[in-house]
Structure 1
Amino acid sequence: MSEEINVYFDFALELVKTAGNLILEFRNGCSHFEQKSSDIDLVTEVDKNVEKTLIDGLSKKFATHKFIGEESVADGAKCILTDDPTWIIDPVDGTLNFIHGYPQSCISVGLTINKEAVLGIIYNPILNLLYTAKKGQGAFLNSKQITVSKTKALDKALISFEAGTSRDEERKRVMFENFKLLVEKCHGVRTIGSAAMNMANVALGGSDAYFEFGIHAWDIAAGDIIVREAGGVCIDPSGGPFDILSRRVLCASSAELAQELATTLNQFYPERD
């Protein structure tokens, strides 16, 4: 299996790097975009072109593989995860950042087999940050191995979280309550506008935990294995096992921190993918 994963990874990596050039053309922002589910949930032609580049290339090389892509689902494709090899793709994670020229956006590509992520690639071409992981082989930033911080206590932790793109009133209420709780209980909070980049920062050891309610499988598939291969954990924010289709994630530098954070948070349960 590891040899097959290496083949999948090597081909996907070159494709991701090629697709990154489409993002680099707009490093200072992109003024042409469309609205999706809300006035802050947006899509550009770059999102669509990157996803098409990735899916076209991968499907030609691996004809039996399945795909879950953010823009494909937005256009009506079903979000179905089976045991088959499935590429889960966010062509531009952090589209709002990308539109504004804020350099925290990336391509996120994960491959699941038997519903488990076996490789992940997160590539921010603007800042030249390439995070990668393969099952059982560690996590890397620009080919240098990385590890989580190992922080175990919430009062010593730097926590990342996001306001998100939903205008749902209950979700906003929970988000503001959690922000207030965390400001009082942890070292500090950070928000950068990209789920994948937040998870990469946990893998790097830059932040100690990240959680979000309302994200999607394509936001977190790559980050899941990159965090785990860096020595961290991914769970449900309630403390249970991670479910990639639940639209809920909590990743942390240690099991102890993950569980303490889970028992601290107010919970919100969005509709599943």
Structure 2
Amino acid sequence: MADPWESTMDHAVAIARKAGEVVCDALRGDRMVTTKSSAVDLVTQTDQKVEQLIIQSVKEKFPTHRFIGEESVAAGESCILSDSPTWIIDPIDGTTNFVHAFPFVAVCIGFAVNKQVEFGVVYSCIEDKMFTARRGRGAFCNGEPLQVSQQKAVEQAIVATEFGSDRDPEVVDKIFQSLRNVLCLPVHGVRGAGSAAMNMCLVASGCVEAYYEIGVHVWDVAAASLIVSEAGGVLMDVEGGEVDLMSRRIIAANSKTVAERLVKTIVAFSPPRDDAAPSDRCEDSTHLSARKV
């Protein structure tokens, strides 16, 4: 049976690679940095340029499709996932990495129909690694199949996480309580690539057993979520049950066993949802300052 979204996914892969070239070119020059919700929530002109490049290219080829883009939402557009074919775009996942030339920077493109992710593309452009997944057809890196780790003992696991950009003391305290609890399980180690999508691709690749974070956004995880599940992994909310990509909370693990151990360990809280009304979101999209690096 023909794949109805094959040409759509082919276009996503091609435009992700083109976007990655823009990112790599920008790394060789000045990178103008502005801030969004806080002094550590960064955005660059390259983020905005890449998102515009992807959206314009898709609009020309698929004019009826909808979009959720990180920079578009920051500029005030709604973040609503409908049943319509929808592209979920993070032009640079790992903007802080990009600003510092830390080599884990990804262009992320998820594609959802009827609120279900049908394919995901994560291009780690500095590494030149193209991670892809199509629902029901497996996950791959540069064409090679991906498979999660078979390690079920969390005491022998590596767990990935990030600290996010929220510096509210109560949030920071909860993040470090969770980190302490995870370390004391104990686990072999805790790692972080500085990119939600890359952490999830590491789970899919079998390099780490799990990744968890509270405070991510749908554009950070939509594409990579399918890569994890198609590589044999599981997705779960930090309090158990099914993951909700709009909830800004996620566990991606190699197995239900490992995920459920983390559920018992994580100190959960609930940031404002991505699909909340703009006035209800705590994040301020106003650009506060600018500097070159």
TM-score tier (shorter): over 0.9
Contact 2:182 2:262 survives alignment (8 Å): no
Partner of 2:105: 105
Structure 1 stretches of at least 4 aligned residues deviating more than 2 Å after TM superposition = 26-31
Contact 2:27 2:101 survives alignment (8 Å): yes
Which string of whole-angstrom CA distances, capped at 9 and with x for unpartnered residues, describes residues 145-193 of structure 1? 0100022222121000001111122221111111111122111100121
Amino acid at match of 1:205: G
- Given the two structures, how large is their TM-score scaled by the length of structure 1? 0.97
Amino acid at match of 1:224: S
Q: Secondary structure at the match of 1:127?
A: coil
Q: How far apart in 2 are the matches of 1:202 and 1:46?
A: 28
Amino acid at match of 2:211: Y
| Counterparts in 2 of 1:158 and 1:28: CA distance versus 1, 3 Å | farther
Partner of 2:236: 235
Q: How far apart in 2 are the matches of 1:131 and 1:94?
A: 16
Q: How far apart in 2 are the matches of 1:168 and 1:114?
A: 36
Partner of 2:177: 177
Q: How far apart in 2 are the matches of 1:47 and 1:76?
A: 16
Q: How far apart in 2 are the matches of 1:153 and 1:82?
A: 39
Figure out how many residues of one structure are paired with residues of the other and give that number: 273
Amino acid at match of 1:244: L
Within the alignment, does 1:50 sit opposite 2:46 as a pair?
no
Contact 1:120 1:134 survives alignment (8 Å): yes
Q: How far apart in 2 are the matches of 1:10 and 1:168?
A: 42
TM superposition shift of 1:27: 3.3
Q: How far apart in 2 are the matches of 1:22 and 1:77?
A: 24
Q: Whose relative contact order is higher, 1 or 2, with alpha carbons under 8 Å and at least 6 apart?
A: 2
RMSD: 1.2
Partner of 1:135: 135
| Counterparts in 2 of 1:24 and 1:161: CA distance versus 1, 3 Å | same
TM superposition shift of 1:265: 1.2
Partner of 1:190: 191
- Given the two structures, how large is their TM-score scaled by the length of structure 2? 0.91
Partner of 1:200: 201
Unaligned runs of 5+ in 1: none
Of 71-80 and 31-40, the range deviating more from structure 2: 31-40
Q: How far apart in 2 are the matches of 1:213 and 1:159?
A: 14
TM superposition shift of 1:31: 3.6
Contact 2:88 2:110 survives alignment (8 Å): yes
